[in-house]
Amino acid sequence: MPLQSDMDQLAINTIRMLVVDAVQKAKSGHPGTPMDAAPAAYTLWQRVLRYDPADPGWINRDRFVLSSGHACMLLYSLIHLAGVKAANPTYEQIGRDAVTLDDIKAFRQAGSRCPGHPEYGWTSGVETTTGPLGQGAATSVGMAIARQWLSATYNRPGFDLFDFNIYALCGDGDMMEGIASEAASLAGHLRLANLCWIYDSNRVTIEGHTDIAFTEDVAARFMAYGWDVRRVTDANDMVMLEQAYRAFHQTQDRPTLIVVHSHIGYGAPHKQDSPEAHGEPLGEAEVRLTKQFFGFDPDQYFVVPDGVRGQFAAQIGARGAEQRKAWQAMFARYRGEYPGLAEQLDCIGARGLPSGWEAALPVFPPSATGLSTRDASGRVLNAVAEQIPWLVGGAADLTPSTKTRMTFDSAGDFQPTGALGNYHGRNLHYGVREHAMCAAVNGMTLTGLRAFGSGFLIFTDYARGAIRLASLMDLPVLHIWTHDSISVGEDGPTHEPIEQLVSLRAIPGMVVVRPADANEMSEAYRFVMQQQHRPVALICSRQALPIVDRTRFAPAAGLAKGAYVLADAAGGKPDVALIASGSEVSLCLAARDLLAAEGVSARVVSMPSWELFEEQDSAYRDSVLPPALTARVTVEEGSPLGWQRYAGSAGVVLGMRTFGMSAPMKVVAEHFGFTADRVAAAARQAMGRGTAAEATQ
């Protein structure tokens, strides 16, 4: 094991000084944690990490996740000094350094590749967007799950294609967040021996010393989770740090937590262990003293001494290039022996799909009694998953209710190897851990799998942070949310979502799809599986819904445009438009019949997705909702917020303006006015033939 050299120390101190200068110039940021964690991160990158800076997208690379996202200047300094190349053509100029010295000088400024917290895609070398504490740690669990699944599914004797490890650098804040505890518990149960969290225990947060709020024994907690726990008492001792990393490599039956006892702002002469060193620049006077302490010229800024970049090139650069080339040669041999499996891996790398997969999408016959869209989703999911072997997922302890279990013979359960299952199982059991589930889905998707999570729509509130980050990262994750309205019935207002639909629609980039029947659900999966850069929330009913007779009404393929004319007036000249999503579409069809008996011609518009409808050109949108047709009614068993744009100033919005109630489903629907009679009354009001009182009674 190599000892710590003078050049190692110079490189570590260079990282520290780049941090100090960047934060000071920006007059914003967190210098303390990057300074105290620099030796731990440097040792990992230089002596342990399997990573080629020239190819940061190599699929078998080790993943380094900076869960303490506020310490981002540590990561940017490592990316810069290691010479990581830009690799994402969507966001970056290919061939340039992912982080230049000019980017570091422009830390937290517009256009810099060094934003205030790491952003996946924007900067190569950033494995996941981190900012909200605990998210990176929980996401790393999904990455570790994905690695175990890839190994179990694609490795063959003599071909260890997938054996990468995942490292996450965490701080006290991460350890306080509930999502990290959820994720750590799950990782311990799954015995993810390829996962290592490095806990930089500096015992300082923004408000002060952690003693004011956080006094538990973290090591004991993780041992109770089933983790191997190791301590490094000197955060600057590279030998001790490397020993801890090597011990992780030798641990084959559980994840590892390495507790590194450090001092925030290590080496800053007057601000060690101070909140100021954590959350704000040191100040010019302190910067000068710090540079003098580390042997740097206090009058020079953003200095990279001779030999430091060469030190990185000679270690992580040379080692990573050799490891990647050896892997590529192995994969070429693998392709010759297992061409079918290699083709699947090509699809995984490109976020592609097997040819002909769409032929599996079922078509459902018309039915008045119908099928719940959660049941339809389960049937479509199983049909699709048999064709896409890398589609994996499960529920937060609700698989029987969300109908998301894959039941075909080869599906199996993802569990530690043994009687309960194995790591190539397709069904994941997240336990009652909604937030960790969604973060893990993000991690699996970042690693190349098509992953989904599911639960009741109401519990999206417990997972909001991870759901939002999926959209921020442009990840094609699938969330399957069921029990979508007050029609949950007897469970009552605690389980009846009101504001959840509109809150998901408010997330930029998120596509929310609420199908009206089983065939719309099949079309929803056609759309979902083709997504490469955006998440989809699939919203499903608990109760059975009629399956529309598509020989009488428009085909369900209209779902792809977000809204379509399902049933129209003779000659395409309606008196009123009835617009709804999901289960309420069948109410509108029934109201259309009631209105027809009165001589009123109604157009029924199924609108499963606002986002997709808004992406259509104005000509199409106007063909569905002609501007001249001002008599409109929108119907959805949720918050009315946002529906006015489709109802128009003269229209009527039927929605929920209170919480729900506990009663049988039909009683709840009648109590809140979700009946065909009330929809017809609202149509009369919109046409000026009735009153608001009639529509709302």
Active-site residues, by number, are: 434
What distance in Å separates the CA atoms of residue 685 and residue 697, rounded to the nearest whole number? 12
What distance in Å separates the CA atoms of residue 6 and residue 189, rounded to the nearest whole number? 42
Q: Which segments of 388-514 does DSSP mark as H helices, in order?
A: 399-402, 434-446, 464-472, 500-505
Could you give the 3-state DSSP secondary structure of residue 80? helix
Q: Which residues pair with 545 in a beta bridge?
A: 371
**Both tokens of residue 178?**
């509930």
> Is the distance from CB of 609 to CB of 514 less than 8 angstroms?
yes
**Quick one: CA dihedral 51, 53, 54, 55, positive or negative?**
positive
What distance in Å separates the CA atoms of residue 458 and residue 84, rounded to the nearest whole number? 42
What distance in Å separates the CA atoms of residue 357 and residue 355, rounded to the nearest whole number? 6
- Specify whether the backbone of 71 is left (phi greater than 0), alpha (psi in -120 to 50) or beta: alpha
Q: What is the CA radius of gyration of the chain?
A: 28
What distance in Å separates the CA atoms of residue 481 and residue 457, rounded to the nearest whole number? 5
Q: What backbone torsions phi and psi does residue 612 show, to the nearest 5 degrees?
A: -70, -35
Residue count of the chain, please give it. Answer: 697
Taking CA 476 as the corner, what is the angle to CA 107 and CA 380, rounded to the nearest 5 degrees? 170
Q: Which segments of 201-317 does DSSP mark as H helices, in order?
A: 218-225, 238-250, 275-279, 284-293, 308-312
Work out the number of other CB atoms within 10 angstroms of the CB of residue 599.
7
C-alpha 70: how far from chain center: 19
What distance in Å separates the CA atoms of residue 563 and residue 620, rounded to the nearest whole number? 10
Q: Which residues pair with 66 in a beta bridge?
A: 169
